[in-house]
Amino acid sequence: MSLEQEAVVMKQLQSKALKGAMLTFHDIKDVVEKKLGGVVSNDYIWDLFRRHAWSKKAPRPKHPSQDVEAQQAFKKNFRGYWQPATEK
């Protein structure tokens, strides 16, 4: 696919993403494969992202043992400032 054709496909995907439709790697790969009429490698898709300045965005991972209530209590009781120790 030429750079111009890639740009058109990426622009279409960008408009979907801006409307709130979540795009995953596999969704984009399917669109590109349909456009080309064949199978493409994962590296091609990652290179496509790089060429058009797209980056992977994902939520931060969560620890399976995290305690949200304890975190909120810590935030409420945490001092909002820091003072260095004074020398005597």
- The three-point CA angle 55-22-37 to 5° equals 80
11 lies in some domain: yes
69 lies in some domain: no
21 lies in some domain: yes
43 lies in some domain: yes
- Cβ within 8 Å of residue 28, ≥6 positions away: 13, 45, 48
Domain range enclosing 22: 3-57
41 lies in some domain: yes
Q: Which of 64, 55, 5 minimizes the C-alpha distance to 34?
A: 5
Per-residue model confidence as pLDDT tens digits over 32-88: 899 889 999 999 999 988 999 887 777 778 888 999 999 999 888 887 777 788 876
The total number of structural domains that make up the chain: 1
**pLDDT computed for residue 67 by the predictor:** 92
**pLDDT computed for residue 70 by the predictor:** 92
pTM above 0.85, yes or no: no
**pLDDT computed for residue 69 by the predictor:** 93
**pLDDT computed for residue 33 by the predictor:** 92
